[in-house]
């Protein structure tokens, strides 16, 4: 076995063959990215509906596929396609594929689903793989909330409590799925939750979120980008992440829902936020609608 083949098999070891989607059965527009993540860029793509081999072996996936477009006569479906850049190293590809190996085990209605992965007979660093995921038509929750604030379907200038509580429950369900499996998200925020046409919210991984702004992420400890405005005190102090720190971030997400995705701790610099939170401070709830602070 050549060194090249051995490396390829090592990189793909965590991805069962039934998840493979032929490259020729999927296309995407590289000029129109949906978002940028730590290990890849996400594009809107189109995939042949019958392109997934051995669908019956992927558990509930066939039921998931059936809902993507209302016209069953359509031979293709819209999907989100995440790829690594052509400059990706073997280590970058290994990180990318480890994410796919991780996500193939997710089977929760409130977590964005992986549909499959495309690889190539060519060396993976010549033709990088692509991760195919369900497409969430209304984008990320933060952007959706900001757009909704400018529309007329809000109740007294706030998100309708019933809708807010529905979203809160959906996100909690997805996070419970992770915590039951001792998994920590570490970057839960409204920008990392996606919305489908039925207004169902699902938790996404970093790559499916839209590009993060400088106001939301802070560079610390070298080149690491930290979402400090969503981080718990112990995470800021000790880089310690647990389910409990995810619960803190979940509280920030509830605040985002109540404020149409306002910037947490607006008016404070990154350094001031770190000092404020590590000294026992938290978000001000006084200006929120009366029905929401009790839930928060």
Residue ranges of the domains in the chain?
A: 3-134, 139-279
Return the SS3 of 30: strand
Q: Along the 296 residues of the chain, how does pLDDT read in single tens digits? A: 454 455 555 555 555 567 778 888 888 888 878 877 656 788 999 998 776 545 444 444 444 544 544 445 478 889 999 888 777 777 777 777 777 777 777 889 999 998 888 876 555 545 678 889 899 999 999 999 998 866 655 555 667 888 889 999 999 999 999 889 888 888 999 999 999 999 999 998 743 333 445 565 554 555 467 889 999 999 999 888 889 999 999 999 999 999 899 999 999 999 999 999 999 999 988 767 666 666 66
Q: What is the pLDDT of residues 163-204, one digit of tens each?
A: 889 999 999 999 999 889 888 888 999 999 999 999 999 998
Pick the CATH number of 3-134 from 3.40.1280.10, 3.30.200.20, 3.90.220.20, 3.40.50.300: 3.30.200.20
- Residue 88 CB neighbour total at 10 angstroms: 19
Bind-site residues for ATP? 191
Binding annotation for Mg(2+): 192, 205
Contact 213, 227 (CB under 8 A): no
> What's the CATH architecture for 139-279?
Orthogonal Bundle (1.10)
Residue that has been written with the tokens 């970057």 in this structure: 187
Residue 74 CB neighbour total at 10 angstroms:
12
Catalytically annotated residue among 187, 196, 284, 287? 187
pTM exceeds 0.75 for this model: yes
Distances (CA, A) of 174 to 66, 94, 139, 245, 292: 21, 26, 17, 15, 21
Q: What pLDDT sits at residue 96?
A: 76
Known catalytic membership, residue 187: yes
The 10 Å Cβ neighbour count of residue 135 is 23
Q: Provide the annotated binding site.
A: 191-192, 205
Q: Are 76 and 130 in contact (CB under 8 A)?
A: no
* Identical fold between 3-134 and 139-279: no
């Amino acid at each position: 076995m050549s060194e090249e083949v051995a490396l390829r098999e090592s990189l793909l070891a965590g991805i069962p063959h039934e998840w493979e989607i032929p490259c020729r059965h999927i296309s995407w527009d590289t000029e129109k990215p949906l978002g940028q993540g730590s290990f890849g860029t996400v594009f809107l793509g189109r995939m042949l509906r019958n392109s997934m081999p051995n669908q019956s072996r992927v558990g509930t996936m066939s039921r998931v596929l059936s809902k993507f477009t209302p016209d069953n006569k359509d031979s293709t479906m819209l999907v989100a396609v995440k790829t690594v850049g052509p400059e990706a190293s073997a280590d970058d590809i290994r990180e990318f594929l480890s994410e796919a190996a991780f996500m193939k085990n997710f089977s929760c209605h409130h977590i964005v689903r992986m549909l499959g992965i495309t690889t190539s007979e060519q060396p993976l660093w010549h033709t990088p793989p692509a991760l195919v995921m369900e497409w969430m038509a209304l984008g990320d929750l933060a952007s959706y909330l900001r757009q909704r604030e400018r529309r007329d379907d809000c109740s007294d200038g706030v998100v309708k409590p019933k809708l807010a509580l529905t979203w809160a429950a959906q996100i909690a369900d997805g996070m419970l799925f992770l915590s039951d499996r001792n998994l920590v998200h570490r970057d839960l925020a409204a920008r990392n939750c996606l919305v489908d046409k039925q207004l169902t919210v699902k938790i996404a991984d970093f790559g499916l979120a839209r590009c993060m702004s400088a106001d939301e992420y802070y560079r610390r400890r070298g080149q690491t980008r930290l979402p400090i405005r969503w981080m718990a005190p112990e995470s800021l102090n000790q880089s310690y992440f647990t389910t409990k720190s995810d619960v803190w971030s979940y509280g920030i997400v509830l605040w985002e829902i109540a404020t149409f995705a306002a910037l947490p701790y607006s008016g404070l610099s990154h350094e001031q936020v770190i000092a404020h939170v590590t000294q026992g401070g938290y978000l001000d709830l006084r200006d929120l609608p009366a029905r929401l602070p009790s839930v928060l």
